[in-house]
A and B are shown apart, each in its own frame.
Chain A
Amino acid sequence: MLNFVVRRLLAMLPVLLAVSLLTFLIASLLPGDLALVVLGDQATPENVAALRRDMGLDQPLWWRYLSWLGHVLQGDLGRSFRTGQTVLQAVAERIPVSLQLMLMAEFIGLLIGVPVAIACAARAGGAFDRFMTGSAFAILSMPSFLVAILLIYLFAVELHWLPATGYVPFSEEPLDNLRFFVLPALTLALAEWPGIMRVLRSDMIATLQEDYIALAKAKGLKPARILFVHALKPSSLTLVTVTGINIGRLLGGTLIVESIFALPGIGRLLVGAIYTRDLVILQGVVLLVACGFVIVNFIVDMLYAVLDPRIRHGHA
């Protein structure tokens, strides 16, 4: 097992390096001169040239990359030229919001997706199965900004049950905090559960055709016991992958949902950085989010090994 972990960790290094290079290139190749952004519309060419020198923008790209990477490896991701905050400070302020949103969205997604998938698989091709597969497809085709606005109009403007926008930290007002998160988490979950449902459903159907299930049935085990105990665990490998990918994706915040619901998470930080051309924040946050994604996938790999012994022994 230890051997497996070390192998996977080593495999992460080139990925992370590639991520850092891509992040840097994207930020550097964006149109617009960073010095001009800092100095503003009416900057004189001399001042722009001077600042370009100060910022090292007159150096070749590869040199700038290596120097940035050097700083990053020492834990220095830079400082926003607009707010004076370091990237780490800015991310530390925002990450709890995105984490909570991600956890609640995944939780609601699984809460809807898993039972529906099991019920569908149990009677594959039946009326419920056909209905749910169809609805899942319909819901999946609705973009999140539309779902969000519909939910706001229904629950905030018309019914006044939940707030339309806003945020308070859980530590200050736990109940209000949850109220603020319900609509955004539901918006995301509505896009998550069809995916969860579909992969789990098809894996379940395949598992249910295995010989050992037939044996279990023949032994006279209750259908519920067969579904939840004997079929669910072996069917959940793809589900773990999908959940892992979702978590990684939501870790970076959701640009649209956080903006609509005015949640101060990582997504909003990124949108703000893009609007204001705050490239230091932009490349720092993208790098951190990408690293988070890689790490989550590493954890998923580890879970695989726990769920399926064949993988950790290298047979798969």
Chain B
Amino acid sequence: MTKSAAAARKHAPIFLVAAFAILPLSEPAQAQKSGGSITVGQELEIAGFDPLKVGVYDTSTFTAAAAIFDTLTTLNEKGEAAPKLAVSWTHSDDYMTWTFKLREGVKFHDGTPFNAQAFKENFDRQKDPANKCRCAFYITNVKEVQAPDDTTVVYKLTDPSVNLPATITIQSQNNVIHSPTAWKTKGDDYNRNPVGTGPYILKSWTAGDRMVLEKNPNYWDKGRPYLDRIVLKPLPDAQSRFASLQSGEADIIWDDEADADNILKAQKDSKLTVHTYKGSGAQVYAFNTKVAPFDDVRVRQALVMAIDRPKMSQAISNGLSRPASNPYGEGSWVKCKDDGALPFDVEKAKALIKDYGKPVEFKMLVTATPRGRMIGQVLQQFWKRAGANMEIEQVDQATIPSRAFTRQFQMTPWRIVDLADPDPQMYANFRSGSPLALAGYSNPELDKLLDHARVTADLGQRTEDYCAISRLINKEAIWFWTFQNTYYALSSAKLKGFPKIYNSVIDVSMTWLE
């Protein structure tokens, strides 16, 4: 084992990370101020932190997890992997083995030392089939994690991953590291009494009301964090959440495009700052190409060409939504000169449908929410103009995945979320035979490109692969994209040091008050 790790190190380029080890997060030159307290207005109530209990973290839990826990790696200003609890890493030639060197002398809040064994225990607990953790799905690509010595962690993967350190930066149920002593001694109570190595320690938590986090005086990154206290509050109603920010009861709040009016209002308010992050990925839809009428490429192309994205953006979010022409978005490092997007052209769409010759009638799944219905109705109008009849089928949010997996749909909404690398989602969504390849479309050329992109290290070459993939998918119109992912947080102008909203996580752990 040590031998293979050593071999991996010999053959692989060693990431130049030592220079970052002193300042793990590059930050704009501003004078950080210590002290003070902020209140974060969140959308949801946090259920807990034990992956075995909650399965997956939601956006509100991410924020708390980013303060209480650490991950092995983090993303720097440029969106590249940078050290956190791991100080350096190497990989094998085939990108199937990744070896991480851990930071020494780090302790969990309860005094338990953080080391490779602790990390492995975290991983094994999630992976253990007996624990039936919902979280296990997201680590199916990791065969095992080994801990050859105290400061070395080795990931053994089932499939190559050229960008693993960047894809494990999100403060999710799988990546944040818990104190093994804490979950063993606290049992069922651990879920609501989390213990990590992070910059903040959970002080108190009143269900439904507030979670109080206090500065960790022994944090390994000396001089940080800056704030003495972070209070997280669930403020479920968008209007009163915004009013709380205006009146000063909250210093920063979660928001999204559905609340466009308040975002626009905040942009005009000098006392407030609108933090926007143009993430990668997009809101997407899949055609089931195995069933009529979508077994015919003309119909698929016609429907895609009938969508007027700028008008749709006006209708659903006051123009805030950014039209998408590929699955990567401006937030991704994949930049295409030509992504092959079909133009908006109603006449062409009509002609294609006429050419098809049969009436185009189908059902589209939409989530049974006001927003889901609105999007469905807008699309319905566009398609009617092109001569196609879409019937909206409203289903529960939880029903969509099961319908999608069993292919009981003609058209379904889906998501490509912001991740540091396109590979995991692109491979799953488009490689023939993948359970997530919802379109049921198979093309050797597409498979070849996907296989090549995931084992190539050169970013230029990978970009070419992914652009070719986009051109192919757009031309065949097996999926289509409406809008790119944009993430929002609104804060008081006094709050400084707020980082990009990577992976949709509102991370306030290294902020300060001016």
The residues of A with any CB-CB pair to B shorter than 8 Å are: 31-33, 36-43, 47, 50-51, 81-85, 90, 93-94, 148-149, 152-153, 156-157, 160, 163-167, 169, 259-262, 264-265, 268-269, 271-272, 275-277
- Chain A, Cβ-Cβ closest to B246: A157
Please pick, from B41, B206, B235, B236, the residue contacting A271 in the complex, using a CB distance under 8 A: B236
Contact for A167 among B41, B56, B209, CB less than 8 A: B209
Contact B249 A166 (CB under 8 A): yes
Q: Which residues in B have their C-beta under 8 angstroms from that of A37?
A: 398
A84 to B207, CA, bound (A): 13
**Chief secondary structure at chain B's binding surface:** mixed
* Interface mask (B235-279 → A, CB under 8 Å = 1, otherwise 0): 111011101101101100000000000000000000000000000
B53 adjacent to A82 (CB under 8 Å): yes
With both beta carbons as reference points, the residue of chain B lying nearest to A183 in the complex is identified as B240
Interface contact A157-B206, CB-CB below 8 Å = no
**Given the contacts A83-B47, A160-B247, A261-B240, A94 and B235 also touching, CB distance less than 8 Å:** no
In whole angstroms, how far apart are the Cα atoms of A153 and B243 in the complex?
7
- 11 more contacts with CB within 8 A, not counting A93-B207, A262-B237, are A43-B134, A43-B137, A82-B53, A84-B50, A94-B208, A152-B240, A164-B244, A259-B237, A264-B208, A268-B208, A268-B234
**Which of B47, B50, B243 is A152 in contact with, Cβ under 8 Å?**
B243
Could you show 24 A-B contacts with beta carbons less than 8 Å apart?
A31-B395, A31-B399, A33-B402, A39-B55, A40-B134, A41-B398, A43-B137, A83-B47, A84-B192, A85-B207, A93-B206, A94-B208, A157-B243, A163-B249, A164-B240, A164-B244, A165-B241, A165-B244, A165-B250, A166-B233, A166-B244, A259-B237, A262-B233, A276-B47
B37 at the A interface (CB under 8 A): no
Given contacts A32-B399, A259-B236, contact A157 B247 (CB under 8 A): yes
A287 CB to nearest B CB, Å: 20
B235 to A, closest residue via Cβ: A262
Q: Is B385 close to A, CB under 8 A?
A: no
- Over the window 207-219 of chain B, the binary record of Cβ atoms lying under 8 Å from chain A Cβ atoms (1 yes, 0 no) is 1111000000000
Minimum CB distance partner of A152 in chain B: B243
A197–B341 Cα distance when bound, in Å, is 64
Q: Is the CB of B236 within 8 A of A262?
A: yes
Find the A residue at minimum CB distance from B250: A165
Q: Is the CB–CB distance between B207 and A94 below 8 Å?
A: yes
A26 to B192 alpha-carbon distance, docked (Å): 29
B203 to chain A, nearest CB (A): 14
User: Which chain B residue has the least Cβ–Cβ distance from A42?
Assistant: B137
Check A260 against B188 for contact (C-beta < 8 Å).
no
Known: A31-B395, A156-B247, A157-B243. A84 touches B235 (CB 8 A): no
Q: Which of A36, A81, A149, A157 has the most CB of B within 10 A?
A: A157
Give bound CA distance, A174 to B237, whole Å: 25
Q: Mark B36-60, 1 if CB is under 8 A from A, else 0.
A: 0000010011011010011110000
Residue B401 interfacial (CB < 8 Å): yes
Q: Which residues in A have their C-beta under 8 angstroms from that of B206?
A: 93, 169, 264
**Given the interface contacts A83-B53, A264-B206, A268-B208, does A36 sit within 8 Å of B402 by beta carbon?**
yes
Query: Is B371 in the interface zone, CB < 8 Å from A?
Result: no
